[in-house]
Structure 1
Amino acid sequence: MTSRILFVCLGNICRSPAAEGVMRALAPDLALDSAGTSDWHRGEPPYGPMQEAASARQVDLSDLRARQFSAADFGRFDLILAMDRDNLADIERLRPAGSDTPVRLFAEYADAGVSDVPDPYYTRDFDGVLDLIEAAARGLLDEL
């Protein structure tokens, strides 16, 4: 069974911490984490507007801090979920030889006909992103 799941976006301040928070609320028994492919926000809390939008849905992100994805994560997690195709490509570039840890696009679990979770840091659509994340989280739980 997949019990250790990592969510990955670009900066680890919007999409991936929101996905971690939503999944924590739905499945507190799973070992969950999030990371960013960049190191731009290392150590920072999730972006304020994302925290506010998540909080309105009773999802608390306040204890999360951004960290950068590393090749060692392939050995720490059973499943790595990328928020978009660029993140997936960046993750795969760091895959160690011999690693068979699955890396998938998180949005594909939503059955919404999209492969990428849009970045609300740029789109400003925090609620729309949370809707997609919640749908993907439910779809993921159905497959676990």
Structure 2
Amino acid sequence: MTLTDIPALKLKNQVCHSLYSATNALIRAYRPILDQLGLTYAQYLVMLALWDEDGVMIKSLVERTRFDAGTLTPILKRLESKQLLTIVKSSNDSRQKLVVLTAAGKHLADRAKKIPDNIKGQINMPAQDVQQLKALAEQLYTLINTNIAADTE
């Protein structure tokens, strides 16, 4: 017995459910690979941002990783305890903190460089479809954030 015949209330029709399920499956695919590096998925995202640009302010990492400061701070502390990065005061503004990779953090990039190809091999999706999926996800992210920002003004 169904409680409703309203299509908008059917789980199978929910975009959010598909995205949630796909995200969880993707993170599960990353887990055994990242375990070999001693990283969680969230830590991997931070390291990717730092491998792209080292010596950045925490505010920049918040923007680039899309983690709020309350989420990012414990991740940074864990990565610092693993001696992959250090957090130092900015020489320009002592109120600002910079995140700087250690030699071990830089070296980890060499070990991580095969991860994208490994994941691509597990997904087995045409590159064009992957690019389209990423573009649509970015578009959705931007639209939602734009609407949230407009609602808070």
TM-score by structure 1 length?
0.26
Q: Which has the larger radius of gyration?
A: 2
Query: Greater RCO between the two (CA within 8 Å, min separation 6)?
Result: 1
Give the TM-score taking structure 2 as reference length.
Answer: 0.25
